[in-house]
Structure 1
């Protein structure tokens, strides 16, 4: 495993967005790069859409 994330990405990331396939793909891509999930996802409703957040860490 690489010791640093690629493309100058940070060691800790939090992805947020509308709860849809695009968000799931973004999380999946981060996992494929070598990130690991950190904690449980968070969800809220903004009156129109469900918004989700997922923290990720590199090489935990």
Structure 2
């Protein structure tokens, strides 16, 4: 079964947790741990979390990954 990958990013707020929680509720699985970095341009901390999901269709670059 094909595996697709997304990298979720957001400022370090509850919005990031909600974005990851929504992906998990849609069948995505965590891939590794989260990462944090300071964005000097905006003056904010940014978070990232990789997620993967098995899909039944063949992968296509035109896929809207968030809708899978």
TM-score calculated relative to the size of structure 1: 0.75
- Compare the two structures and name the one with the higher strand fraction: 1
**Cα deviation, residue 40, structure 1:** 1.0
Number of residue equivalences: 52
CA distance in structure 2 between the aligned counterparts of 1:40 and 1:22, rounded to whole angstroms: 18
Moved more, 22-31 or 38-47: 38-47
Unaligned runs of 5+ in 1: 5-9
- Could you list the per-position Cα deviations for residues 3-59 of structure 1 after superposition, in whole angstroms to 9, with x for gaps in the alignment? 78xxxxx82110011010111101000000000000011110113211010000014
Q: Which 4+ residue blocks in structure 1 deviate beyond 2 angstroms?
A: none
TM-score (norm 2): 0.67
The answer as to 2:45 corresponding to 1:28 is no
| Gaps in structure 2 of 5+ consecutive residues | 55-68
Q: Which has the higher helix share?
A: 1
Match of 2:52 in 1: 57
